[in-house]
Amino acid sequence: MPAHESHRADQAAFFRGGGSTLFAEERALLGDLAGRAVAHLMCNTGQDTLSLAQLGATVTGVDLSDSAIASARELAAATQLPATFVRADVYDWLRETAAGTQRFDIVYCAYGVICWLADLHAWARGVAAILKPGGRCVLVEFHPVSNMFDQQWRLAADYPAGGRLLALPGIGDYVGASEGGLTPSGYAEGMQNFVNPEPCYLHQWGLGEVVTALAEAGLAITALHEYPYTNGERPFAEMRADADRRMYPPEGVPALPLLYGLAARKL
């Protein structure tokens, strides 16, 4: 996390000036947020959470990381944007919230969250339990197909399924590697040659498994979009950026679904 944050220049001024880190895809799925109660699960350091507050939402950000939540709270204080940040395991927080009276109009999750879920169905049931009747889950996530290729666009792995574990040496500095794609506040050189000493274990889920888990939890899928680009991040070689920080494959690489977005409504 410190490596990622080191590349984000003057975030407080960016937000005080009305800036937002949300992309058009999530904005379209979220709709009008004025006066809406929003839970942002696995919110990391809170930039998207504060962007939701910027749009008029009453927002609660939840993340497991002490340092991420501390950074989010510090940024919220510096920007004076109203947001509540909770340091908690997502399953614990969903269960405890469901046992209480607080309910949300929208539960929002985005970009690299599904891979951290060991129990997809428990997560979906928890999301459904804290939504108001008619409330929505909005998810924007990297497409499972993208996980079948190595960085040079070579087919290298089976389609993700079943939550099987993927062991990695450590999450790298994808913010620095984005070369400004993930730093709308401005890019700072920051930490260089970062090597994460902490290994991690990700859970591999297919798109059908995500949709099925939400449907079985009592949510009706109202939108499912697949996009042939990523937003901000450059997970593959020679990706081409457009003016909106969308990252496309290089010439000669066929269009592939690299990102998806869905909305699901509580019945």
Q: Where are the domains of the chain?
A: 2-266
185, pLDDT greater than 60 = yes
Q: What are phi and psi of 234, to 5 degrees?
A: -120, 80
Q: Which amino acid is at 112?
A: G
Q: In the prediction, which pLDDT does 10 show? A: 84
Interacting residues of 79 by C-beta distance below 8 A, sequence separation 6+: 11, 12, 15, 16, 50
* 25-44 as b/e: b if 16+ CB within 10 A: bbeebbeebeebbbbbbbbb
Whole-model pTM: value is 0.92
Average pLDDT of the chain is 92
What pLDDT digit, counting tens, does each position of 129-157 carry?
999 999 999 999 999 999 999 999 999 99
Residue 36: predicted pLDDT? 98
Quote the pLDDT of residue 203. 97
pLDDT at 193 over 80: no
Residues 100, 214, 141: CA angle, nearest 5 degrees: 105
The pLDDT confidence band at residue 89, using thresholds 50, 70 and 90, is very high
Extract the tokens encoding 182: 């993930």
Question: What value does the mean pLDDT take over residues 237-260?
Answer: 96
pLDDT of 170 reads 67
Has residue 59 got a pLDDT over 60?
yes
- Residue 216 pLDDT greater than 60, yes or no: yes
pLDDT score at 175: 61
Domain 2-266's class?
alpha beta
Confidence at 199, pLDDT banded by 50, 70, 90: confident
**pLDDT for the residue numbered 182:** 75
Q: Which of 98-107, 137-146, 174-183, 249-258 comes out lowest in average pLDDT?
A: 174-183
Q: What is the pLDDT of residue 11?
A: 85
Which distant-in-sequence residues (6+ apart) come within 8 Å of 27 by Cβ? none
pLDDT at 47: 95
Number of helices and strands (H, E) in the chain?
Answer: 9, 12
